[in-house]
Structure 1
Amino acid sequence: MTFKPFEHGANVIVHSATKFIGGHGTSIGGVIVDGGNFDWANGNFPDFTQADESYNGIKFAELGEIAFVTRVRAILLRDTGAALSPFHSWLFLQGLETLSLRVERHISNTKKIVEFLDNHPKVELVNHPLLESNSYHALYQKYYPKDAGSIFTFELKDKDEKKARDLIDHLEIFSLLANVGDTKSLAIHPASTTHQQLNAEELASAGISKGTIRLSVGIEDVTDLIADLEQALEKI
Structure 2
Amino acid sequence: MTDHRFDTLQIHAGAAPDPATGALQTPIYQTTAYAFKDADHAARLFNLEEVGYIYSRLTNPTVSALASRVAALEGGAGAVCCSSGHAAQIMALFPLMGPGLNIIASTRLYGGTITQFSQTIKRFGWSCTFVDFDDLAALEAAVDENTRAIFCESISNPGGYVTDLPAVAAVADKVGLPLIVDNTLASPYLCRPIEHGATLVVHSATKYMTGNGTVTGGVVIDSGKFDWSTSDKFPSLSAPEPAYHGLKFHEALGPMAFTFHSIAVGLRDLGMTMNPQGAHYTLMGLETLSLRMEKHVANAKAVAEWLENDPRIEFVTYAGLESSPWHERATRLCPLGAGALFTVAVKGGYEACVKLVNNLNLFSHVANLGDARSLIIHSASTTHRQLTEEQQIKAGAAPNVVRLSIGIENAADLIADLDQALSAATA
Are residue 198 (structure 1) and residue 387 (structure 2) matched? yes
Relative to structure 2, which stretch is displaced further, 132-141 or 216-225?
132-141
Q: Using the TM superposition, give the Cα deviation of residue 82 of structure 1 relative to its aligned residue in structure 2, in angstroms.
A: 1.9
1:41 counterpart = 2:199: no
Counterpart for residue 346 of structure 2: 156
In structure 1, distance between residues paired with 2:420 and 2:363: 12
The amino acid that maps onto 2:332 is: K
1:10 pairs, out of 198, 201, 205, with 198
Root-mean-square deviation (CA, aligned residues, Å) is 1.2
Q: CA deviation at 1:148?
A: 2.5
Aligned partners of 1:85 and 1:150: how far apart in 2?
A: 28
> How far apart, CA to CA, are the structure 1 residues paired with 2:218 and 2:398?
31
Structure 2 residue aligned with 1:172: 361
Matches within 5 A, 1:52-67: 52-62=241-251, 63-67=253-257
Deviation at 1:194, TM superposition (A): 0.9
* Match of residue 26 from structure 1: 214
Which letter maps to 2:389? A
CA distance in 2, matches of 1:209, 1:93: 36
Aligned length: 235
Say which of 335, 339, 350 aligns to 1:145.
335
Q: Offset at 1:226?
A: 0.8
Q: Which residue of 1 aligns with 2:323?
A: 133
| CA distances 1:32-88 after superposition (whole Å, capped 9, x unpaired) | 111110000012211112212332321011121111111111110101112211211
Q: What is the aligned partner in structure 2 of residue 115 from structure 1?
A: 305
What is the Cα deviation at residue 199 of structure 1? 2.2
Corresponding residue for 2:424? Answer: 235
CA distance in 1, matches of 2:217, 2:399: 32
Mapping of 1:73-112 within 5 angstroms?
A: 73-112=263-302
Contact 2:293 2:339 in 1 (8 A): no
Q: Secondary structure at the match of 2:310?
A: coil
Q: Alignment partner of 1:117: what SS? A: helix
Pairing 1:185–2:374 present: yes
Tell me the SS of whatever aligns to 2:209: helix
Equivalent residue letter for 2:243:
S
Structure 1 gaps of 5+ residues are none
Q: Can you list the C-alpha shifts for 1:83-138, whole angstroms capped at 9, x where unaligned? A: 21121111111101111111111011001000110000100100111222222122
Distance in 2 between residues matched to 1:134 and 1:97, nearest whole Å: 32
**Secondary structure in structure 2 of the residue aligned to 1:57:** coil
Distance 1:205 1:49 in 2: 37
For 2:224 and 2:396, locate their aligned partners in 1 and report how far apart those are by CA, in whole Å: 36
- Give 3-state SS (helix, strand or coil) of 2:329's partner: helix
**TM-fit CA distance, 1:17:** 0.6
More contact order relative to length (CA 8 Å, sep ≥ 6):
1
Distance 1:162 1:15, change over 3 A: same
Measure, in 2, the Cα distance between the counterparts of 1:167 and 1:54. 53
Once the 2 structures are TM-superposed, how far is the Cα of residue 206 of structure 1 from its aligned partner? 2.4
Distance (Å, rounded) in 2 between the aligned partners of 1:19 and 1:85: 16
Secondary structure of residue in 2 paired with 1:18: coil
Contact map agreement 2:331 2:338 (CA 8 A) in 1: no
TM-score (norm: length of structure 2): 0.54
Q: Given the alignment, which residue of 409, 412, 425 partners 1:223?
A: 412
Higher mean C-alpha displacement, 77-86 vs 107-116: 77-86
One-letter code aligned to 2:192: K
TM-score, scaled to structure 1 = 0.96
Q: Which moved more, 1:198-207 or 1:53-62?
A: 198-207
> Aligned letter for 2:341?
I
- Secondary structure class of the residue paired with 2:287: helix
